[in-house]
Structure 1
Amino acid sequence: MGRHQSRNGAAADSDAPDRSRDRRRPGRRAVLGASALLAVTGAGAGAGAVWYRHSQDDGEAQAASLVRALRTGDLRDAPLDTAQRDAATVRFTDTVGALRKDLGAPEIVLRSQEHSDDARSLHLSWTWDLGRGAKPWTYATTVDLTSGDDGWSASLPTSALVPGLEEGDRLGVRVDQPDMGRILDATGQQVYGPTPVIDVGIDKGSLHGHDEEDAAADLAKILRIDPATYRAKVKGNGPEAFVPALTIRERDAEGYDLDAAQKVPGCLQRSRHAPLAVQKNYAPGALGSLREATAEDIDKSNGALAPGDHVGSGGVCGAVGPTLLGTRGITITRTPARTSSPQALHEIPAVDGEDVEITLDPEFQRTATEILADTEAPSSICALRPSDGGLLAAALGPTGQEYPVGLVGQYAPGSTFKTVTALSMLRLGDTPDTVVECPATATIEGRSFKNADRMDPSLFGKMPLKDAIAHSCNTAMLLQYDRVDQKSFARSAESLGVGLRAPAGLDCFMGSVDPKDSGTEHVADMMGQGRVLTSPLAMTVVMASVLAGRTIHPQILAQPRGKVEKPESPLTKSEARTLRGMLHGVATYGGLKSTFGGYPGPPVYAKTGTAQWVDDGKIRLHSWVIVGQGNLAFSVFVEKGDYGSRTAAPLARRFLNAVRGR
């Protein structure tokens, strides 16, 4: 009699009837029971025990094994039809395997199953995470297992893996990048976005025996970058790497000897578009940047970012980065057998980035930058439109200055802060005509304070508050220390915009006044020294609030986003009108009469400021002025200068002349 080997390795009589097709097979527990029976009855009953085990196998275990294999992507132990195993593995590799390389493992859920004595159908749902916030790709398939002489197995046709496929189809993933949006200035011109650039560097694969370090040093000298740093960068890259030395805007290319650079062994110049400010050093700190995502960015993105993606960082880009960048598209492609032309099987179209308009005015920005170009210390001009808080200019000087002192610098504001002290006094019931004492010096809380050396001694004595502001009498303000408490003083500063949260799109320091300052710190705060700190932008907001008759929040986005922080005690129209009267006196008969007295057009409002600071053991002066006329408020700040009327004020006059067309 012929004999064959059963699946559990025990010998079985080939002439015995195959009752495995006549009975439903119980689950794993029944199989384990059959094994126990075999152990009890001994070898003489082996044939009957094996038949009983087969008769109890209904394919449930094989179904679980197959689903597990599909989930892990490893078919080696999957219950596949012997004749179809190789073909099934190829089908799986060309479809699901190809997708797993780009998308990761899918989520596969066994929704339901149907079974008979010799067949079992598994109804599966597949979910592929397309990443970066895209809607997952989901579909359903059915996988069939059948029972044969070798037990339960599946052939795994393409339709069991991805619906709509035919034999021999191959799948792939194509990422479609969106077009990037632009940042447009107040005139609609691009100031940031895709900009034509040239990457200049060493292509190590084309050195052809030339010394890489010599080539790197030669190229660095031509491009005016540090040779040692670039030489180390080239040395640290692989033998076929392209190592960029400098990215140059095409508009700036004439400033470099690119012909000489091209003669350096291994030099390669590549043109592309990069997200940059169209003009180098245009409003540093205001625009921000679109930079490549770091590993940390990717880790924190919950799958929304991948290597090579860009993110918005700082300023406008930080606030509207997603709007500018758009959303990448993703297409699952199907390439039929014997062709090389992929077709779209599932597609999420790319969404192009949108343009974003900002309030910066190119003429204001250019004019301010030119005026500061030759200053001898870090300087800034910040200009606002009081009617809506729109930032018109955020310029820096001297040429080459990159740290945005106007936006994020933290400085003692000096006597420009007497505007805040005056508001505090108005809130106590004082008026511009309230008489105050202005002695040459005053000792308060054991500390001696004095007026500026250049103040006319004939002014010392009693004077109305408006004259104390016009001539910037320090002692007159400081002697109010016991009337103006620090909390009220801090609230007045807030009413003029100081210390409020910066709106979206503006990375800036809006100032700080500690409501808990006391003693001499409280006294010094009242003349803009002590521990009071502001930025030039914050002091521009002070003037803008006075002109507008309400607390102003600076804005750089033409369509502001998010909520603004409201002060506890908003500035009133009446308070602002009174402050304007006193600040107009500064320009007409006070400290800035020689600069703005009789200035044409609407009334000019102004306040100078000088703040002492210590630099390497020497006392230096911050030079300030804040100015308003019509629908324009601006500040001029020079980090290391003379009195505000001597250093900052002449620059302010030049700026006002230029923007008013004089």
Structure 2
Amino acid sequence: MGITRKLVCGLVALLTASSLAACDDGRAAAQDAANSLASSLAGLDVGALPLAGKEGAAANEQLKSVFAALDSKPEVSSGEVKLDGGSATVPLDYRWKIGSAEWKYTVQATLEKTDDQWRTQWSPALLAPELGEQEVVQVKTTTAKRGEILGAGDAPIVVDRPVLRIGIDKTKVSAEQAAASARVLAGLVGLDVDTYVKQVADFGPEAFVEAIVLRAFTEEITVAKLGEIPGAISVEDTMALAPTRTFARPLLGSVSQASAEQIEQSNGALKAGDSTGRGGLQEQYDTLLRGTDGVQVNAVSTEKPADGSTPVSRELFSTEAIPGTALKTTLDPGLQQLAEDTLSKVGPASALVALRPSDGAVLAAASGPGSNGYNTAMLGQYAPGSTFKIVDSLAMIRNGMTPDSTVECPPTLTVDGRTFKNAEGYPASSLGTVTLRDAFAHSCNTAFINARNTVSQAQLESAATSLGIAVEAPKLGASAFLGSVPGTAEGTEHAASMIGQGKVLVSPLAAAIMAGSVAKGSPVSPQLVLNADAGAAAAKTVSPSSSPSVTASGEPPAPTAKAPETPVTKEEAAALGEMMRAVVTSGHAGFLADVPGAPVNAKTGTAEFGNENPPKTHAWIVATHGDLAVAVFVEDGGFGATTSGPLLKAFLTAAG
């Protein structure tokens, strides 16, 4: 290359470099500084930033003080910088999540270039719109009114009722005294002492820390006893409550302060002190019922006026509280209370379910006091015993039999070495060759086990689904176990299935559906929650297990049930209804014959369980009475006719 060409190339290179330097006017470095500022503000830590006008430590302290009332961090993004010599401005877009509300705003930041470094000109207005040097951000929440739970015809069930909130007011005592008072109060109201003491300690110095909510003072918790505890107070309020503390509680659930676990899992929707549903429909439909709290964000002066008045504040952002939506159910408050009264003196776990076959409306789903808060009525999983002979009979009818067909009813029957027998006190007059109607009315175990060679396990499963057992319940709107009937079984297991034992399981709800399907003449699809779609809450059909269970999250396991393949027909149901009527007119449920009103059709059941000799038994009875289907269950209750039968009669008689 010649000298001339080298000079030309060098000149071009020099001109190009000069041009690039001219283009690099500091914009890139300023943008980097703006991005770093946004990132630091989002992390609520500006201590390491190059600042002008305030030391980094002081600015950081002010930042944390300004946002102390917000229990989250913002998202902050920087816009495009605008240069003006050695200065630059840049918009900062903030986004805060405050409960379910979203607070967005934009502020302007100024950057100054000093000693080849871009520094942020510090000002409180970097943090919130026009924020002054002596202002901080405060948040007020307006609690949304919780939605009611309504029964049939929008009858009020869970509505606002007067309550007393008992707790420690930390403004009235020192921190040391608050801890001591918390111990005494926890002992008085029956709370875990250490847990409540920690809760009181964790709340702020001006908090009221609730211990318990009462409908009224009791013999144990009185005004006088509360007055003896420094800082303990009662606050009058209202709360969404059922008519009584126990009314349908296993089904409805309750409302209480959110636990730490619930707060963590709420993705910011709940905070300490918020009320939320716990168990049952209250938890399943909590989002629908809770509504949306209102939020007000204010800039408040930290300078206290000399006259003692309230510090000046101005509103930065607000949202209105949106009340929760009422949950509409089919429950009949009168029948629900009657069902609970009927079970009130039953010691073991028990349940009474009543539904309307014509439309599947669940009118009552009561679990007795012995269930200890578990929803036995809808989630219990038990062998149905002889009530399952309704299913057997449908399978036999489909194989060509009628109520007048004859069957053999021997005193005992041995299958693969296992001996089956009829219940104690079985009438000798109904042994031998009898009609299917008679065998059903007196519940001859051996007659139905004898049918195992003509009724396959698959046919039993099909007949069960035809009557609404072990199928999905798309309209129910609540978690439930609708039964499990294995499609394959052999030998003694198949024989046991013929009398509702073995691996056959139902809930009291499923038993009522089975009886209701006979009365309706087609499968009953139960319905409890009328506006379930509005709640966007998934109801589960619980899969079978060896004992009633739920998952760790409180939700039942995933469904395994299926849709009915061959629905029961009106003709088949009429034959089954005729045999159920015979249980009352000539069988061992004659005590139901004098129930006023429409004729009662019924089937009793006694289901063995455990390994004792003689075995313990669950007591069942199902019945239809006009447009009402009822199932009564008592765990370890003995015989269906003698234990559950009188409970059923009392309920039907009072129901009118």
CA distance in 2, matches of 1:428, 1:274: 57
Deviations 1:28-74 (A, max 9, x none): x97xxxxxxxxxxxxxxxxxxxxx9xx98726424422431342134
Matches within 5 A, 1:499-538: 499-501=470-472, 505-538=477-510
In structure 2, what is the equivalent of residue 113 of structure 1? 81
Tell me which of 635, 638, 652 is aligned to 1:656: 652
CA distance in 1, matches of 2:445, 2:36: 81
Moved more, 236-245 or 268-277: 236-245
CA distance in 2, matches of 1:560, 1:69: 47
Matches within 5 A, 1:168-247: 170-186=136-152, 188-200=154-166, 220=187, 230=193, 247=213
Given that residues 438 and 461 in structure 1 are in contact (C-alpha distance below 8 angstroms), is that contact kept between their aligned partners in structure 2?
A: yes
CA distance in 2, matches of 1:203, 1:348: 29
Matched, 1:454 2:425: yes
Given that residues 347 and 370 in structure 2 are in contact (C-alpha distance below 8 angstroms), is that contact kept between their aligned partners in structure 1?
A: no
In structure 1, what is the equivalent of residue 627 of structure 2? 631
CA distance in 2, matches of 1:267, 1:616: 56
In structure 1, what is the equivalent of residue 574 of structure 2? 577
Deviations 1:294-332 (A, max 9, x none): 343344333333333344343211332111100123233
Given that residues 75 and 89 in structure 1 are in contact (C-alpha distance below 8 angstroms), is that contact kept between their aligned partners in structure 2?
A: no
Given that residues 297 and 318 in structure 2 are in contact (C-alpha distance below 8 angstroms), is that contact kept between their aligned partners in structure 1?
A: yes
In structure 1, what is the equivalent of residue 354 of structure 2? 383
Deviations 1:107-140 (A, max 9, x none): 3333323435444343x35141315444x44444
Identity of matched residues, %: 34
CA distance in 2, matches of 1:213, 1:603: 65
Given that residues 69 and 78 in structure 1 are in contact (C-alpha distance below 8 angstroms), is that contact kept between their aligned partners in structure 2?
A: yes
Residue 418 of structure 1: CA displacement?
0.3
Given that residues 385 and 392 in structure 1 are in contact (C-alpha distance below 8 angstroms), is that contact kept between their aligned partners in structure 2?
A: yes
In structure 2, what is the equivalent of residue 595 of structure 1? 591
Matched, 1:68 2:32: no
Tell me which of 109, 115, 139 is aligned to 1:143: 109
In structure 2, what is the equivalent of residue 8 of structure 1? none
Tell me which of 58, 67, 71 is aligned to 2:26: 58
Matched, 1:614 2:616: no
Given that residues 352 and 632 in structure 2 are in contact (C-alpha distance below 8 angstroms), is that contact kept between their aligned partners in structure 1?
A: yes
Matches within 5 A, 1:312-351: 312-335=277-300, 340-351=311-322
Matches within 5 A, 1:82-101: 84-85=53-54, 98-99=66-67
Residue 608 of structure 1: CA displacement?
0.7
Partner amino acid, structure 2, of 1:192: V
Distance 1:615 1:479, change over 3 A: closer
Partner amino acid, structure 2, of 1:609: G
Matched, 1:556 2:518: no
Distance 1:583 1:151, change over 3 A: closer
Residue 200 of structure 1: CA displacement?
5.0
Residue 381 of structure 1: CA displacement?
1.7
Distance 1:257 1:569, change over 3 A: same
Deviations 1:257-316 (A, max 9, x none): 615524645483413445544412112311022344334334433333333334434321
Distance 1:560 1:86, change over 3 A: closer
Given that residues 373 and 398 in structure 1 are in contact (C-alpha distance below 8 angstroms), is that contact kept between their aligned partners in structure 2?
A: yes
CA distance in 2, matches of 1:313, 1:463: 53
Deviations 1:463-513 (A, max 9, x none): 232222122111111111122211221222122222234555434332222
3-state SS, counterpart of residue 646 of structure 1: helix
Distance 1:642 1:386, change over 3 A: same
Moved more, 534-543 or 612-621: 612-621
Distance 1:508 1:314, change over 3 A: farther
In structure 1, what is the equivalent of residue 545 of structure 2? none
In structure 2, what is the equivalent of residue 306 of structure 1? 271
3-state SS, counterpart of residue 129 of structure 1: strand
Given that residues 412 and 529 in structure 1 are in contact (C-alpha distance below 8 angstroms), is that contact kept between their aligned partners in structure 2?
A: yes
In the alignment, structure 1 segments of 5+ residues that lack a partner are 1-24, 31-51
Residue 525 of structure 1: CA displacement?
0.9
Residue 342 of structure 1: CA displacement?
2.9
Given that residues 438 and 463 in structure 1 are in contact (C-alpha distance below 8 angstroms), is that contact kept between their aligned partners in structure 2?
A: yes
Matched, 1:371 2:339: no
In structure 2, what is the equivalent of residue 129 of structure 1? 96
Partner amino acid, structure 2, of 1:601: G
3-state SS, counterpart of residue 622 of structure 1: strand
CA distance in 1, matches of 2:86, 2:273: 52
Residue 211 of structure 1: CA displacement?
14
CA distance in 2, matches of 1:406, 1:60: 69
CA distance in 2, matches of 1:230, 1:334: 39
CA distance in 1, matches of 2:520, 2:66: 63
Deviations 1:410-451 (A, max 9, x none): 222111010011111122232222222222222223322222
Matched, 1:282 2:254: no
Given that residues 130 and 330 in structure 1 are in contact (C-alpha distance below 8 angstroms), is that contact kept between their aligned partners in structure 2?
A: no
Deviations 1:357-376 (A, max 9, x none): 22222221222222222334
Deviations 1:339-389 (A, max 9, x none): 834333222322111222222222212222222223343332211111222
Distance 1:69 1:208, change over 3 A: closer
CA distance in 2, matches of 1:211, 1:293: 22
Residue 657 of structure 1: CA displacement?
0.8
In the alignment, structure 2 segments of 5+ residues that lack a partner are 1-16, 306-310, 542-561
Residue 585 of structure 1: CA displacement?
1.8
CA distance in 2, matches of 1:173, 1:211: 25
Partner amino acid, structure 1, of 2:144: P
Matches within 5 A, 1:351-500: 351-397=322-368, 401-500=372-471
Deviations 1:129-170 (A, max 9, x none): 315444x44444443445578865554566665556678665
CA distance in 2, matches of 1:190, 1:58: 69
State the Cα RMSD in Å: 4.2
CA distance in 2, matches of 1:510, 1:269: 47
Given that residues 514 and 532 in structure 1 are in contact (C-alpha distance below 8 angstroms), is that contact kept between their aligned partners in structure 2?
A: yes
Distance 1:553 1:147, change over 3 A: same
Residue 542 of structure 1: CA displacement?
0.9
Moved more, 278-287 or 301-310: 301-310
Distance 1:219 1:93, change over 3 A: closer
Partner amino acid, structure 2, of 1:472: S
Output the TM-score relative to the length of structure 2.
Answer: 0.79
CA distance in 2, matches of 1:200, 1:129: 33
Residue 633 of structure 1: CA displacement?
0.8
CA distance in 2, matches of 1:215, 1:291: 19
Partner amino acid, structure 2, of 1:451: N
Partner amino acid, structure 2, of 1:605: N
Partner amino acid, structure 2, of 1:416: T
Asked which structure has the greater CA Rg, the reply is 1
3-state SS, counterpart of residue 102 of structure 1: coil
Partner amino acid, structure 1, of 2:97: L
Residue 395 of structure 1: CA displacement?
2.6
Residue 452 of structure 1: CA displacement?
2.0
